[in-house]
Amino acid sequence: MTSNAPEAKKSILYATQWQLIRRAFSKHKLAVASLYFLIIMYLVAIFAEFVAPYPKRWQELGHIYAPPQLVRFSPGRGLYVYAVKQHIDPITFRKTYRQDPCDVIPLGFFVRGEPYKLWGLIPWDRHLFGVNLARYHKTHADGDSVPTFYLLGADMYGHDLYSRIIYGSRISLSVGVIGILITFVLGLIVGGISGYVGGGLDNFIQRSIEIINAFPKLPLWLAFAAIMPPEWSPLAVYFGITVVLSLLGWTGLARVVRGKILSLREEDYAVAARLLGASHARILFIHLLPGFTSHIIVTVTLSVPGMILGETSLSFLGLGLRPPIVSWGVLLKDCMNLEAVQSYPWLLMPVVFIVVAVLCFNFLGDGLRDAADPYSSR
């Protein structure tokens, strides 16, 4: 026991910066949980066709605005839901749905369902969770009937809202990642040059950043989105929105990089590299920037929620992504009708996923920020 203690103490004393960051981050339980949850969300987005019970364009017009079906469990039946039957009021002609306890729809994992192409390439018909058609047809004489299952309800076109939210996560979450990559490049280059060169160029860049930050972001987003040609394909609009969000999101990272470069460019190792004949680009990108990589990661992580909310806002207002593209913002366009939201509150379910994703990124950023300076607690 005592012989191993000095070795353990020695390993702590000689740990690298990244090892200290990892140990400090592991103590931040909320940040660790957020990281795992975000990994699950991105895996769901990648395998959306498999995870979703139905394809994104699947619809059943006989179940418009069908309410969510409560999943039940019993030892004899396993997982199941009661079928919902549409009822039209003879006086008001209002459509309502009632559960039919006599019509049981069995559920299961890795069940066969609507065919699809995984990533648009691999044809398959297996779904992670959905109606167990084999068991259903064994208990129902009508073998041609196909039961419907709405975990989070249906929209005005009879689309399964849960499946659409899963498909929408692929767009909404990827906008944040792709936008951050562009922001990362612009912020590093502009901020690095500003801090390293200094002088008049630094003043010009900083005044330009202040002017950009002085404009309210939402009107600028609306203006950029409005000038996009209406004949653009949905894919072109997607990349256009990503670029728009990135062009307004790099200023914060540029200022962080500039401040760090100003404090590091006169360090002994930077001066030594300059005296040995190293080029300015090598000193900046090889010697200076890696010295505060952890801080850059923190800033980038905290910027992702802004990208997600920006895409959601533009799509909700009808100036961003448009159908047939499915994103969380596009799904929320149905909520612009307050009467529909009052009658069918499950249409607001995309908001829950947006809030959860944004909070997870914020908690992850807080944990990385606390762990980025592991020497502060020693």
The full 3-state SS of 235-258, as one line of letters, equals: HHHHHHHHHHHHHCCCHHHHHHHH
For residues 207 and 205, what is the distance between their CA atoms, to the nearest angstrom?
Answer: 6
**Confidence band, pLDDT 50/70/90 cuts, at residue 374:** low
Burial 90-107 (b: 16+ CB within 10 A, else e): eeeeeeebeeeeebbbbb
Burial class (CB in 10 A: 0-12, 13-18, 19+), 7: exposed
Task: For residue 284, give the nearest of 201, 192, 211, 367 by alpha carbon.
Answer: 192
Instruction: Return phi, psi of residue 188, to 5°.
Output: -65, -45
pLDDT exceeds cutoff 60 at 8: no
For residues 108 and 353, what is the distance between their CA atoms, to the nearest angstrom?
Answer: 24
For residues 249 and 232, what is the distance between their CA atoms, to the nearest angstrom?
Answer: 24
DSSP state of 160: B
> Is the backbone of residue 19 left (phi > 0), alpha (psi -120 to 50) or beta?
alpha
Question: Which residue has better confidence, 314 or 169?
Answer: 169
Q: Kindly report whether the peptide bond that precedes residue 345 is cis, defined as omega within 30 degrees of 0.
A: no
Q: In a 3-state reduction of DSSP, which class is residue 136?
A: helix
The pTM score is 0.82
- pLDDT value at position 373? 62
DSSP state of 67: P
pLDDT exceeds cutoff 60 at 71: yes
| 3-state helix, strand and coil shares in percent for the chain, rounded to the nearest 5 | 60, 15, 25
% the chain with pLDDT above 90: 17
Tokens of 51: 């995870």
DSSP state of 311: H
Tokens of 116: 């699809």
Looking only at Cα atoms, what is the longest distance across the chain? 90
| 126 sits in which H/E element | strand 122-131
Cβ contacts of 117-120, under 8 Å, gap ≥ 24: 117/49, 118/47, 118/49, 118/50, 119/49
Adjacency order of strands within the sheet including 78-88: 72-74, 78-88, 95-118, 122-131
Tokens of 124: 């398959």
Lowest mean per-residue pLDDT among 151-155, 171-175, 227-231, 326-330: 227-231
| 29 sits in which H/E element | helix 29-46
| pLDDT tens column, 254-287 | 888 888 888 888 778 778 888 888 887 888 878 7
For residues 174 and 218, what is the distance between their CA atoms, to the nearest angstrom?
Answer: 20
For residues 56 and 325, what is the distance between their CA atoms, to the nearest angstrom?
Answer: 10
pLDDT exceeds cutoff 90 at 42: yes
Which domains are assigned to the chain?
Answer: 33-44+165-377 (1.10.3720.10), 52-159 (no CATH)
**Confidence band, pLDDT 50/70/90 cuts, at residue 59:** confident
| pLDDT tens column, 18-38 | 777 788 888 889 999 999 999
| Mean model confidence pLDDT for the chain | 83
For residues 14 and 188, what is the distance between their CA atoms, to the nearest angstrom?
Answer: 30
Tokens of 166: 């899963």
Q: Which residues pair with residue 112 across a beta bridge?
A: 126
pLDDT exceeds cutoff 60 at 12: no
66, 52 Cβ separation under 8 angstroms: no
**Confidence band, pLDDT 50/70/90 cuts, at residue 143:** low
195: amino acid identity, one letter? G
369's CB contacts (< 8 A; 6+ apart) are: 298, 302
